[in-house]
Amino acid sequence: MLGYDIVLLDVEGTTTPISFVHEVLFPYILDNVDQFLKAKWRDPVVQEHVRAIADQTNKDAQAGIVHATPIDLDADTPEVIRQKVAANVNWQMKADRKIAALKGLQGYMWRFGYASGQLQGVMFDDAVEAIKRWSTDCKVFIYSSGSVEAQKLIFGYSDHGDLLPYISGHYDTNIGSKQESQSYTKIAEDIGVLPKRILFISDNENEIYAADQAGFQTVVSVRPGNPLLTEATKKNYKLTSDFMELL
C-alpha cells in the first residue's frame, strides 16, 4: 500500500527534460512570434493576448524597466504593435519572466504548434510508467510554473501518447508561487486531502523546501541537465532518478 493518496508532480526537470523547454518550446516562440501575430492578427484571442502584453509592458515602462517598449494600441499601427509585442516577448523570455500576459500568448502559440505536429511533448519513460501505475492506486496532479494550458499540451501531445486521462488536475502559479509554503497548503485544501498524504516531486530545491514546510512528503527529482543540488538537500531529502523506485 502506498504511503500517500496524492502525487503532485513538477514538469520541467521532473517529468520532462529541462532541455525540451529551453531548446524546443522557448525557441519555437522566439522564432515564430512575429509571423504568428501577422498570420492570426484578426483572431479575437490573439487580440486579447496583445492587449494583455501591452498592459504589462506599459506598466513595466512606467516602473522604469529599460527593456520595456511602451505600446499605444490606439496610435500605433498594427505592424508597429506586432513589432513591439515581439520585442517585449523576446526580452521577457530571455529574462525568464513568469508573468500571466507572456504565458497566455505562449500557451496559445504552443496550442497551434502541437496541433500541427511541429511540437511534441517529451517525457521520461519512468515518469510515464509511474504516472500510469499511480493513477490506479491514487490521484496524480501537476503543479508547474507553466500555465495549465501549457501543461495540458505537453501531456496531451506527448511522445508517449495522450497522458491526460491519467492526470486528475493541474495547478499553476495562479494558486501561488511554487516557492511559498502557503501555495501547497492551498493545493491540499483544494484537493481535500491532508498535506501529509501528498507526495510532491520536483527538481527545484526551494520548491521542495516550501512543500516540506507545508507538511507534504517530498522527493527530489535528479535528471540529466538539472541544476546541481546542495549538500544539505542531498543529506536531508530523498532523491530519485527513477520514479518506479517510489512504487
Residues belonging to the binding site for Mg(2+) are: 10, 12, 203
Which residue's entry shows cell 546541481?
228
**SS3 state at 111:** helix
Residues belonging to the binding site are: 10, 12, 144-145, 178, 203
CA dihedral of residues 123, 127, 128, 133 (deg, nearest 10)? -170
Which grid coordinates belong to 87?
520585442
Rounded CA-CA distance 145/14 in Å is 13
Residues 6+ apart with CB under 8 A from 64: none
Residues belonging to the binding site for substrate are: 144-145, 178
Q: Which candidate, 44, 89, 50, places its Cα nearest to that of 69?
A: 89
Are 184 and 214 in contact by the 8 Å Cβ rule? The answer is yes
